Amino acid sequence: MSDIQKSITLEEAQKTVDKWINTTGVRYFNELTNTAILTEEVGEVARIMARRYGEQSEKESDKNKDLGDEMADVLWVLICLANQTGVNLTEAFLKNMDKKSIRDKDRHKNNDKLK
């Protein structure tokens, strides 16, 4: 696992990506390019999900695709965008969880489709 630990916080992930970009990657792609790359990476996850877990048949060329690796690609680009736009993902995630906990407190319990 090179110099990355086996467990990492979102803050550490943001710092790790930033360090890698500024040493190995030369510089960040611009925000618009990274947004397009994020869309492409999400599409790769969607392709695996649709073919492996959905109703589409899985092509032979897709059978060895690593879902975890594709999800990590999504996370990588999302972290790049957070770094570029000054978003602290830890703070954003915790705020989002609070929002969901308040807004959706009873929503899913009362959803007959989930029972």
Dist CA 104 CA 115 (whole Å): 16
Determine the residue type at 24.
T
- Across the range 82-89, mean pLDDT stands at 98
Sign of the CA dihedral running 86, 88, 91, 92: positive
Q: Domains in the chain and their CATH numbers? A: 10-88 (1.10.287.1080)
Predicted confidence (pLDDT) at residue 1 exceeds the cutoff of 60: no
**Could you tell me if 42 and 74 are in contact, meaning their C-beta atoms sit under 8 angstroms apart?**
yes
**In this predicted model, what pLDDT tens digit does every residue of 33-71 receive, in sequence order?**
999 999 999 999 999 999 999 999 988 888 899 999 999
Dist CA 74 CA 97 (whole Å): 20
Q: Is 77 helix (H, G, I), strand (E, B) or coil?
A: helix
